[in-house]
């Protein structure tokens, strides 16, 4: 098994005369295999997931547990959903913690981190995932109250939780933020929601630059149309019936199809990725 450190700085190597060259003549040798003997990609990691009670958050929570992580779930008031998710985490043999409350409140976010540290002793992965959306026909229908609610739920907690968690992160920690395909293509009936998702993209890129020297990676996931509780809770029956049919794959995605992106970004397999966004969106071509 290779023991070479993949993060080791590459030294100047002897020039090879013929392309494509010989790997056996390189010094240091390129790292092609990890030396870790872990059975799970996230073995003994501790993850906090906002909105982890259902939808994409639930799928990520269960996937993390199956890869060996203990999981804390921050959610609003969907107690039944949260308890079901927790049952699946414990069935995977990992620890679970449920924390209910409003993450738009900075004090609550600070308390969440304190509770996670008290129970698990550390935090390795932060998934900023929770969000709300309120479809409107146009910008003239978006009230000041709605605008405030959307921003204080969808983007403010990214700042609150990151600030509170950062002192407890070690090198190798991972922050993953859920943005959306709407950040790239826009949405005429979700203008305020799309604006927050665009802000999250910029947050990921800026925070990744800020934390790179600490060895903490920051990435994001921009799902397309995914079948989550937000869909029937915010769209009309007619809109729900055709939800997702406008993407190249002609269907909505399932949360389980998105969760592997988060597992990958949280794991050492993504050790050379920071400031990046993955796009599980059914085939939509996006820029950025």
pLDDT digits (tens, 9 = 90+) for 139-158: 999 999 999 999 999 999 99
- Evaluate if residue 183 carries a pLDDT over 70: yes
| Percentage, residues of the chain above pLDDT 90 | 81
Comparing C-alpha atoms, which of 51, 50, 281 is closest to residue 184?
281
The CATH class that applies to domain 38-278 reads alpha beta
Q: Where do the domains of the chain lie? A: 38-278
CA distance 201 to 212: 17
The dihedral built from the CA positions of residue 61, 257, 178 and 105, taken in this order, carries a sign that is negative
Give the residue, 18 or 204, on which the prediction is more confident. Answer: 204
Rounded Cα distance between 18 and 28, Å, is: 19
Nearest Cα to 86, choosing from 98, 75, 78? 98
List Cβ neighbours of 185 (8 Å cut-off, separation of 6 or more): 284, 286
Residue 39 confidence (pLDDT): 67
**Contacts for 17 with CB less than 8 Å, ≥ 6 apart:** none
Active site residue 184: no
* Residue in the block written with tokens 């990676």: 217
Cα–Cα dist 56/144, whole Å: 28
| Catalytic site residue from 75, 160, 184, 193 | 193
Q: What is the dihedral of CA 162, 154, 78, 114, to 10 degrees?
A: 20
pLDDT of residue 1: 44
Question: Structure tokens of 185?
Answer: 């293509």
115-125 burial, b at 16+ Cβ within 10 Å, e below that, comes to ebbeebeebbb
């Amino acid at each position: 098994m290779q023991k070479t450190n993949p993060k080791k700085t590459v030294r100047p190597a002897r020039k090879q005369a013929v392309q494509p060259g010989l790997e056996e003549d390189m010094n240091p040798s390129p790292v092609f295999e990890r030396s870790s003997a872990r059975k799970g990609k996230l073995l003994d990691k501790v993850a906090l997931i906002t909105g982890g009670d259902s939808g994409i958050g639930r799928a990520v929570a269960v996937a993390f547990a199956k890869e060996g992580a203990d999981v804390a779930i921050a959610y609003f008031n969907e107690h039944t959903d949260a308890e079901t998710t927790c049952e699946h985490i414990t069935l995977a043999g990992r620890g679970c913690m449920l924390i209910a409350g409003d993450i738009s409140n900075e004090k609550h976010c600070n308390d969440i981190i304190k509770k996670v540290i008290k129970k698990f002793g550390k935090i390795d992965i932060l998934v900023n995932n929770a969000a709300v959306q309120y479809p409107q026909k146009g910008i003239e229908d978006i009230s000041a109250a709605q605008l405030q609610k959307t921003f204080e739920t969808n983007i403010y907690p990214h700042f609150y939780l990151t600030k509170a968690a950062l002192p407890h992160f070690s090198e190798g920690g991972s922050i993953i933020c859920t943005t959306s395909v709407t950040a790239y293509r826009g949405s005429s009936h979700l203008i305020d929601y799309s604006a927050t998702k665009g802000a999250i993209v910029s947050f990921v890129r800026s925070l990744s630059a800020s934390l790179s020297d600490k060895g903490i990676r920051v990435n994001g996931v921009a799902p397309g149309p995914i079948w989550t509780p937000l869909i029937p809770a915010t769209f009309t029956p007619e809109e729900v019936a055709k939800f997702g049919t406008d993407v190249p794959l002609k269907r909505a995605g399932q949360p389980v199809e998105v969760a592997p992106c988060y597992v990958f970004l949280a794991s050492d397999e993504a050790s050379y990725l920071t400031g990046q966004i993955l796009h599980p969106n059914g085939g939509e071509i996006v820029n950025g």
